[in-house]
Chains A and B, each alone.
Chain A
Amino acid sequence: MNFPQLSVGSADLAWLREKLVLDAEAAGLLDVAFRVVDTPVGPLLLATTTVGLVRVAYVADGSDAVLDELSRRISPRVLDAPRRLDPVVRQLDEYFAGTRTHFDLPLDLRLADGFRREVITRLPEIEYGRTASYAEIAAAAGSPRAVRAVGTACAKNPLPVVVPCHRVVRSDGSMGQYVGGVEAKRALLQLESVA
């Protein structure tokens, strides 16, 4: 027996998905809300918990791995909920327009443990338009010999752009690596030096 396929319009489904986000939020079941936005340095995935912004990720190669990680490490109750990220998007827009030099957002640092978290909390001390060396950050974090560990902490920064690991460079002044690629790092430093 062949049943005719009932057509389900994408508009119907989009509306139901929006309603699900609202219902989930009202029921306290939206553990991780995310959104992908286009920026001058490529698409960024933004994710927030009820505590604050928990993840910023470069997702030019796709979001699946990042979403899997959020599901595994925080909660599988992960939904695409763009409006929850509105304040973050507004501040990012201002930052990329050159009118914002400091992010004023609640952050959830649970994805960075131990020394990595120590490093992450130091990074906002590097002022907009300035850079610091990996060695300087190691010293500031109380472990002057942990230069390589600072490099790892920056590479695994769960909140790039917002927590400015792009301002950490090599002692010889060369840029070093970046989680979003060297081109993105150059673009961010250039943006900040012009403003």
Chain B
Amino acid sequence: MSLSDHLPRASLPPFEEVVARHGATVLRVCRALLGAVDADDAWSETFLAALRAYPDLPPGSNIEAWLVTIAHRKAVDIHRVRGRTPVPTENLPEPASSTGNPGEGDDELWSAVAELPFTQRAALVYHYVGGLPYAEIGTILGNSPAAARRAAADGRAALRRRIEHGTGCRS
């Protein structure tokens, strides 16, 4: 993320610039969260919804956090369609996700990520793939920065347990 993303701007950049600048990151987030098959649909729905709402976005907004927020809603929808516990909450135990691993990069790590409860997975993905601070992630998940940080820490701990001597997960 570049410095200019955080500087207020008098007007909104053309949407093409939003796609060019954030398209790849949002696709990585969608893949890490949902697996390759559902990621394309989530990306398409995210950017179409973003295009629709874009003229009302206050200039100077953190566009990447805004896009990840929309992508998160799409991901929750997809989980709903899959018949899983739909809304991630902080305290309830959650079933492992049915959506597969992204199938690229470090397979062992990604299949372990895919097995995490949704909130832990989302917190990890938004932080490590999306590059968002926990304050933003708390807003996206509907909890607090501390809860988002805790979810990511719990996810990390679970990953460590699952990949005892794996190569993909280094702290």
Contacts and interface: CB of A to CB of B under 8 A. Distances in A.
A75 B15 CA distance: 9
A131 B34 CA distance: 62
Interface in B46-66: 47-48, 51-52, 54-55
A4 B28 CA distance: 11
Nearest to A6: B28
B28 A76 contact: no
B171 A16 contact: no
Contacts of A13: 23-24, 27
B159 to A, nearest CB: 8
Q: Majority SS of interface residues in chain B?
A: helix
Contact of B14 (A3, A8, A19, A70): A70
Interface in A40-97: 67-68, 70-72, 75-80
A4 B14 contact: no
Interface residues of B, number: 38
Contact of B16 (A4, A5, A75, A80): A80
B23 A67 contact: no
Contacts, number: 96
Q: Point out which of B12, B16, B19, B168 has the most chain A C-beta atoms below 10 A from its C-beta.
A: B16
Contacts of A5: 28, 105
Contacts of A194: none
B68 interface: no
Nearest to B156: A1
Q: Majority SS of interface residues in chain A?
A: mixed
Given A6-B31, A68-B13, A76-B14, A16 B52 contact: no
Nearest to B13: A71
A37 interface: no
A72 B170 CA distance: 46
B103 to A, nearest CB: 9
A75 B170 CA distance: 46
Contact of B19 (A6, A8, A12, A20): A20
B46 to A, nearest CB: 10
Q: Point out which of B15, B24, B106, B110 has the most chain A C-beta atoms below 10 A from its C-beta.
A: B15
Nearest to B107: A4
21 contacts: A1-B170, A2-B170, A3-B32, A3-B109, A3-B124, A3-B128, A4-B168, A6-B28, A6-B32, A7-B105, A12-B40, A16-B27, A20-B19, A20-B44, A23-B48, A67-B14, A68-B13, A70-B14, A76-B54, A76-B55, A77-B15
Enumerate the 8 nearest inter-chain pairs by beta-carbon distance, A residue then B residue, closest first. A78-B14, A4-B105, A76-B12, A71-B14, A3-B128, A4-B106, A67-B14, A72-B11
